[in-house]
Amino acid sequence: MRRLIINADDFGFTEGVNRAILESHARGIVTSTTLMANAPAFPQAAASAKKSDGLSVGCHVVLIDGQPVLPAANVSTLTRKSGNDGPHFHNGLSGFAVRALAGRLAASEIEAEATAQIRKIQADGISLTHFDTHKHTHIFPAVLRPLLRAARNCGIGAVRNPFPPPSPLPASMLLSTPFLWKRHVQLSFLRRYADSFLRSVNEAGLLTTDGTLGAIATGSLDEKLFQAIVEHIPEGTWEFVCHPGYNDADLQSARTRLKESREQELKILTSPEAKRILSDNGIDLISYRDLLSSG
């Protein structure tokens, strides 16, 4: 049996991203999404989520490239000095990774900030099923453990498994496509944390999937690549990560490399061809809510 959750990240990032995610669910194949608590279009996303039947909503915990919910004094190891618009997290995953591996991030601050982000969403009347993190910062054990404590204390039952399968695509496609091979090597390097991740999640009593698909194609997804990923899904329950959006003025001015690619993903996620590909390969689409109910 092969089951697949299709989760759209960055709900709340811009109104155009919100609209694309809702369309990808209503007339496409997206089953779940993760909401950013302190993003500019959060109010609109939260209001829309409560009206969207069947869409499983989680918290997209942000610890880099954004602003915290808590005051700067409460998250000093996570933030940098900034201007008059309040504290900001450090930018970029590489610097965050160095600080995480060097033990320079306070676990108590990670737990407190994640709790604040989750509680902000829940206070808006949204029942959260799962959580993940912006740019998969919960790959690192020192970050994962306090996040799991926050999720468990807030009643969240599932977390994204950010690790891909050992062979996410046919070897011929990886070897013939330089950007895919480079991304595969990067993701494979991070698999060293996969066993530790599963132990921590099990100890915390949360559920997760067998791993994540789609990250290898982020920013470059097309129909051919989507089909190759789907045809190569192993047995089990997996999550496909996606980033649909409209490349409007708000997205153009935002700090993200994913702009034109979001519209391309939207086109794929709402296409009849995508539904056919999933059906032809016997893939059972589920949401995080379904994962929790099947336990």
Q: What is the pLDDT of residue 173?
A: 83
Q: Which of 99, 95, 76, 98 is nearest to 87 (CA)?
A: 76
Task: Give residues with Cβ within 8 angstroms of 40, minimum separation 6.
Answer: 12, 13, 14, 250
Domain borders along the chain are 2-294
Residue 127 dihedral angles phi and psi, to the nearest 5°: -90, 115
Q: Which of 130, 132, 87 is nearest to 109 (CA)?
A: 87
Residues 154/119, Cβ–Cβ less than 8 Å: yes
Q: Which of 153, 124, 143 is nearest to 57 (CA)?
A: 124
CB atoms within 10 A of CB 103: 9
Q: What is the pTM of this model?
A: 0.94
Q: Kindly state the tokens that stand for 254.
A: 């935002």
Top CATH class of 2-294 equals: alpha beta
Q: What is the pLDDT of residue 83?
A: 63
Q: Which of 24, 14, 18, 10 is nearest to 226 (CA)?
A: 24
Which pLDDT tens digits describe the chain residue by residue (295 residues)?
Answer: 999 999 999 999 999 999 999 999 999 999 999 999 999 999 999 999 988 889 999 999 999 998 999 998 999 999 987 666 778 998 888 899 899 999 999 999 999 999 999 999 999 999 999 999 999 999 999 999 999 999 999 999 999 999 999 888 888 887 778 878 888 777 777 788 999 999 999 999 999 999 999 888 888 899 999 999 999 999 999 999 999 999 999 889 888 888 898 999 999 999 999 999 999 999 999 999 999 998 7
